[in-house]
Chains A and B, each alone.
Chain A
Amino acid sequence: MINHIDLSTVLRRTVCDLYSDLVTRPTGAAVRDGIEKQLSELGDRSLTVIDFSHVGLLDYSCADEIVAKLLMRYAEASAPRDAYFLFRGVSDSHLDAIETVLERHGLAIVAQAEDGTVVLVGTVDDPERRAWEAMSRLGRAMAVDLAREAGIAPEQVERVIGALCRRRLAMELDGGYVVVGAVT
């Protein structure tokens, strides 16, 4: 199930209907709480588009509270549900804050550009990046095909794909694997 969350709407509803900037930790924590409430109303498995299009400023503290903490919570083994996230409407200034916090925690996200293409942002190692890019080119793919396309040893590819799925960058679909954002 694909869900869409407009962050500026969540900000206005949860913090103040006059605000358009995502600044300060308390604001970020309140917005993340609002996102999690929406997620709790979805099924066990979901893909959520987190939309920054109408957000003015995003500072480091808010990026940490919203993006990093959300990802960390759903990448844990004890995550409340199998949730994936696609980040949309991310401007260069948003990216500055987001990249900084992702780097700090060793995290990564999938962001969608205006033309619909998806890109990896944050910290990924070389085999993960090659596997993700191969998956992006192939569409839904099996592990053996990904190993060949990405030039990764067959005995290693399952581990790399497992890491991508655990990190919420790729997902299993109908027995194969797709990058988050391949189907929106």
Chain B
Amino acid sequence: MTTVINLPPSLDERTFETVLEQLAPIPIDEKVLLDGRHTRWASPYGLTALLTLAQTRAEKPALVSPESEETGSYWARTGFFKHAEDLFEMHGTVHRARASGESDVLLEITSVAKSEDVHEVVGRIQQKSASILVKELNIDAKATMGFAMTLSEACQNIVEHAGRGGWVAVQTYRWQKRLGRRVVVIAVCDAGVGFRQSLESAQGRRMSDRWDDGMALEEAVIRGVSRFRDPGRGQGLAGVRRYIGRWDGKLSVRSGTARIAIVPSWDEDVPLEEKLPPFPGAQMQITIPERITDR
């Protein structure tokens, strides 16, 4: 039996939850078909999370690609179909990326599994991001190195803790509805062990009565706790937090059944959401908005 799951018209961090709600009651070895025919837009989070979803299924899922030529072409430009063809049974038109000059895709969807992949990602983002961050987002040229550091640390979370490969993508776009400004968004998603299980694997760790996904996220993201005893560990996410604080950005991390967010003044998200539909691994989104300067 195949269960059809409808992808929303706009697939992003928030609306992906509707996909997970539909997915939650379906046994892992049962076939699902993700229907993306009417999807018109997807964020880097939406696309990397879709690939991650496929990794979580025992039975290879099917995916119907968007009907819209423009959307399909954009998904191709992000590199989505290159990976999706391995993970999904594809239906509908699988678009090919057309050569175009300027692109808002700063980093195509890239798989991250080992240290070498992080070097590759960091090298590529530095070449492409510097001028865009400075010219389009008014971010200080010096801060572009911090951006690459943030990306590096976010990717290393997969290498060090997930136990299996994941995905990263970086894109800029105009966030008209919520912010009226351009943003640059980093999405890093994996279907690994997640924060709770990673912290549980720490030797000699004592769990409190309220130990759950939400608490594990608080420990790791807010307090910089790591499964390693080495006191130097846990600095990566702390560094990410510092960077987004400096540039009025937003960080959100979902793992298991919870989602934590460092929420800037321009956003109305909640700091912690619990009792979400379960989903393996960790899914992170970092949003840096265009800086408003006095001209």
Residues of A at the B interface (CB closer than 8 Å) are 16, 19, 21, 23-27, 56-61, 64-65, 68-69, 91-93, 96-97, 100-101, 104-105
Give, as a whole number of angstroms, the nearest-CB distance from A104 to chain B.
6
- Interface positions, chain B 146-192, Cβ under 8 Å from A, are 146, 148-149, 152-153, 156, 159-160
Q: How far is the CA of A105 from the CA of B235 in the complex (A)?
A: 11
Q: Which of B122, B160, B231 contacts A23 (CB 8 A)?
A: B122
Does residue B253 face the partner (Cβ distance < 8 Å to A)? no
**Tally of A-B residue pairs with Cβ under 8 A?**
80
Does residue B278 face the partner (Cβ distance < 8 Å to A)? no
On whether A60 and B119 interact (CB within 8 A), knowing A100-B239, A104-B235, the answer reads no
A23 touches B232 (CB 8 A): no
B232 touches A104 (CB 8 A): yes
B149 touches A97 (CB 8 A): yes
- Interface positions, chain B 126-152, Cβ under 8 Å from A, are 126, 142, 145-146, 148-149, 152
A25 touches B156 (CB 8 A): yes
Q: How far is the CA of A147 from the CA of B160 in the complex (A)?
A: 48
Residues of A contacting B153 with CB < 8 Å? 59-61
A59 touches B115 (CB 8 A): no
Give, as a whole number of angstroms, the nearest-CB distance from A87 to chain B.
17
A61 touches B142 (CB 8 A): no
Q: Which of A56, A61, A91 contacts B236 (CB 8 A)?
A: A61
Q: How many chain B residues have a CB neighbour from A under 8 Å?
A: 24
A60 touches B149 (CB 8 A): yes
Residue of B nearest to A103 (CB): B235
28 sample A-B contacts, Cβ–Cβ < 8 Å, listed by A number: A19-B119, A19-B123, A21-B148, A23-B122, A24-B152, A24-B156, A24-B159, A25-B160, A56-B126, A57-B145, A57-B148, A57-B152, A59-B152, A59-B153, A59-B236, A60-B153, A60-B235, A60-B236, A61-B156, A61-B235, A64-B235, A65-B232, A69-B232, A91-B145, A92-B142, A96-B146, A100-B242, A104-B231
Residues of B contacting A57 with CB < 8 Å? 122, 126, 145, 148-149, 152
Residues of A contacting B116 with CB < 8 Å? 16
